[in-house]
Amino acid sequence: MTTLALLTYPHIDPVLLRIGPLALRWYGLAYVLGFVGAGLLMRRLNRTWKMGLSGDDQLDIVLVAVVGLIVGARVGYMLFYDLSGLLKAPLSIFALWDGGMSFHGGLIGILLAGWLIRKRVDVPFLRLADMGAVGAPIGLFLGRLGNFINGELWGRTTNVPWAMVPPYGGAPRHPSQLYEAILEGLVLFLVMLVLARKRRSDGFQVGVMLALYGVFRIAVEFVREPDAQLGFILGPFTMGQLLSLPVLLAGIWLGWRALRKPMRAFDDNGVSTALVDGDSAGPTFQED
């Protein structure tokens, strides 16, 4: 590969701020801003969808989601991508500062958190998942930018004009982190915002989000370098693709299930009152 990269990698210090032995990293800040953005969006959806959640309910949901996501993402990474390392050093699962977070593990963790808190806030599980699905692309976008700043998760070698030489040198590579930031972040967020303008059947929003994420992730993985410790799995496929396939299928099933639900009218408190005729904009929320 002799073609020179036409874009220069903007070497950004992964550490934003140092205070003595403490360091604030861009990647950690991405998590914080992602949850703040999702929390603010939840407040808006609470009004738009007439969910009736109190301020305390919203705070509880965000706090539980933070714990579920971080624990799930770390445990998922160790199980899916570094099982041998976990078996050799079980305590390494707590070493968050060493990096290693899995979207798929985080997804499982945050869904479990929603399942556990659903009765506490008196909202059906899929309805909570729909709210989270609208805000999820914010965190995905910022997280992929954090990966880019860290100089990790690079794509495969290429001679496309926008290729970049990673900070560790070598041949130009696809900036796959930016591909994912655009697709899983910006594009997915715009789609979710459009769909969120009205209430829809429980599970429809999260179904669309999971299906599109699965499509985007599987596609980008074809130009992303597989994890060094795993390589390719089952021929030309990566672990990310294998984990994203059930996400894609689950999203399709949830969307199909929601579309088959009869639509209902809602009063100002978000309580369903009666069946209504369908419209071309799609289904509204239905009580579980």
Amino acid 271: pLDDT: 52
In a domain, 5, yes or no: no
In a domain, 12, yes or no: no
Amino acid 117: pLDDT: 95
In a domain, 216, yes or no: yes
In a domain, 157, yes or no: yes
| Comparison of pLDDT for 208 and 229, the residue scoring more | 208
Q: Give the whole-angstrom CA distance, residue 105 versus residue 149.
A: 22
Tell me which amino acid residue 82 is.
Answer: D
In a domain, 285, yes or no: no
DSSP SS3 for 224: strand
| Comparison of pLDDT for 238 and 168, the residue scoring more | 238
In this prediction the pTM is 0.86
In a domain, 281, yes or no: no
> What average pLDDT does this structure show over 223-236?
90
Domain range for residue 72?
24-275
CB atoms within 10 A of CB 278: 12
Residue 146 sits at the vertex; the CA angle it makes with 139 and 169, to the nearest 5 degrees, is: 150
Q: Kindly report, residue by residue over 243-259, the tens digit of the pLDDT.
A: 999 999 999 999 999 99
In a domain, 152, yes or no: yes
Long-range contact set of residues 231-234: C-beta below 8 Å, sequence gap at least 24: none
Write the CA distances from 12 to 24, 147, 180, 212, integer angstroms: 14, 11, 19, 30
Contact call for residues 110 and 65 (beta carbons, < 8 A)? yes
Question: Closest by alpha carbon to 255, among 136, 139, 113, 129?
Answer: 129
Min mean pLDDT across 8-17, 95-104, 223-232 is at: 95-104
3-state helix, strand, coil in the chain (%, to 5): 55, 10, 35
DSSP SS3 for 140: helix
Contact call for residues 130 and 118 (beta carbons, < 8 A)? no
Bridge partners for 15 per DSSP: 25
Q: Kindly report, residue by residue over 141-171, the tens digit of the pLDDT.
A: 999 999 999 999 999 999 999 999 998 888 9
Write the CA distances from 221 to 180, 184, 237, integer angstroms: 9, 12, 8
Q: Kindly report, residue by residue over 258-286, the tens digit of the pLDDT.
A: 998 765 544 445 555 444 444 434 444 44
In a domain, 31, yes or no: yes
Count of domains for the chain: 1
Write the CA distances from 154 to 110, 157, 231, 234, 238, integer angstroms: 26, 9, 14, 21, 14
Write the CA distances from 253 to 46, 127, 184, 188, 214, integer angstroms: 26, 16, 20, 18, 13
